[in-house]
Amino acid sequence: MTNPDIRDFTRQELAGALISLGEKGSRADRIFNCLYRKDSQNFAALSGVPEELKSKLASRYSFAPAPLAEKRVSAIDKTVKLLFTFPDGATAESVLIFNKKTVSACISSQSGCACGCVFCATGALGFRRDLKPHEILAQFAACRREAGRAPDSMVFMGMGEPFLNWASVKTSVLILSDNKGCNFPQTRITVSTVGVVPVIRELAESRLEIKLAVSIITADEKRAALTPMDKKYPLREIIKAARYYGERTKRTVFFEYIFFEGLNDSPQDAQKLLALIKGVACKVNLIMYNPVPGEKVYAPGRFEKAREFQNILVAAGIRTHLRREKGSDIAAACGQLAARREAP
């Protein structure tokens, strides 16, 4: 059995591990500094750590090599997509999105996805495995190197359902935000879920300050045909949990609504959405469906109809953002991540 990776521990957990080795727990600060500030890639590179302690750590814990990363750049908007291959062959993708003044990193939490949303390229892959905290953190580090600085914001909106790998996602958030680690503010991290109700409620009751985004997809019974998860967690139960999160944390909930031509883009559909989210402190992100290879049932909504839909929501007092997707020419837009390599 492989020893646990040293980067899969929060600083507090690492301090406990050091104490069990007969060492001072305070040395976790130095090790964290090496791992996340100096980007050390092996035990030997832990500067300022005694050789004896390095040997103890190496005998008890592993230090997986950095995953191989293949890079693609959009010719349209300079969006960068990184395909990571981990030592066991599992793959995942991250996307770096450049806006006028800011940079956002979109990170994966799983290799593949078990949710099976019929319109999503990742869902078509099926599920391979959860990513471990150090594999999530490796994506962030690669995005930071690519951008030349830390991103301004980070979203768990890549491959996988973050709330089905919540233990690893939560650990990675704690390490990212640790002032001895990456020192990345939790308030700049968003986790997007298709609606895993128990974890939404757990997040509401936690001390984490990350933002919650819920993928409504569509506001009526048609949702069940689009995502099998709707059978386990019905939409109204998801909205109830989201309302609880908002009331408990006093934070805005982000709802994501995807436009499909002729399916959910009418003024009547806008009224259904308004009725569904009534009373929830929220902002609605309106997203155009991005076609995926081999999927011929659904067509992208038209921008003019989406604008009309948006105007109805705004008139009802709902904050909205009609998203213009980036990276579609390299299959990096929402719903297009499929961990495919370029043909030689």
Which of the residues are catalytic? 93, 334
Residue with tokens 């990350």: 210
- Which DSSP category does 321 fall into? E
CA atoms within 13 A on the CB side of 233: 22
Q: How many C-beta atoms surround the C-beta of residue 52 within 10 A?
A: 9
- Angle made by CA atoms 181, 184, 185, in degrees to the nearest 5: 130
DSSP string, 171-217: HHHHHHH-TTTT---GGGEEEEES--HHHHHHHHHSS---EEEEEEE
Length of the chain (residues):
344
**CA gap 292, 271 in Å, rounded:** 29
Q: What phi and psi, each to the nearest 5 degrees, are found at residue 207?
A: -95, 5
- Which residues are paired to 71 by β-bridges? 82
Pick from 248, 233, 259: which is nearest to 323 by CA? Answer: 259
Cα–Cα distance for residue pair 20/22, rounded to 1 Å: 5
Q: Which residues pair with 96 in a beta bridge?
A: 80, 105
DSSP characters over 84-125: EE-TTS-EEEEEEEE-SS-EEEEE-SEEE-SS--TT-HHHHH
Q: Which two tokens stand for residue 324?
A: 């213009």
Closest CA to 136 of 285, 316, 269, 7: 7
Q: Comparing C-alpha atoms, which of 270, 237, 276, 256 is closest to residue 323?
A: 256
